[in-house]
Structure 1
């Protein structure tokens, strides 16, 4: 079996670095939707602001596609608007 190339080593290293950030993004999403489900709109608004910054930063670094980041933040906005709207 041949020795791994430099590109192979680099991709493994980047994968390990990015794994934590991807996990963090998933945790932010979970925290947001948990806050929405529990009815804590203030907490959800706070998490949403943090989420927008995190997703935009990840998109600018190439961790995920910019359209995906925008779509996620847009869905957060819609869920927040729905949760904070007065019930009829």
Structure 2
């Protein structure tokens, strides 16, 4: 998926919407399966301050296709893992 820019030259996240289970910014427990109800941590740099715990079926406009990262503590409430990417 290629990022696009809007008429002001700003990043257009609307074209990048996707599900967490297919996003490289989703971080799971080391042994977790990639499934709709699996919980993990969003590690997108802009969203890290919010410490978002999301499921595989969650999605947003910061989507970047790729394999999820892995780190212990990613599914805890609240998440205790640090971003691995």
TM-score range, shorter chain: under 0.3
TM-score of the two chains, using structure 2 as the length reference: 0.24
Which structure is larger by alpha-carbon Rg, 1 or 2?
Answer: 1
> Relative to total residues, which structure has the larger strand share, 1 or 2?
2
Higher relative contact order (CA 8 A, sep 6+): 2
> Relative to total residues, which structure has the larger helix share, 1 or 2?
1
TM-score of the two chains, using structure 1 as the length reference: 0.24
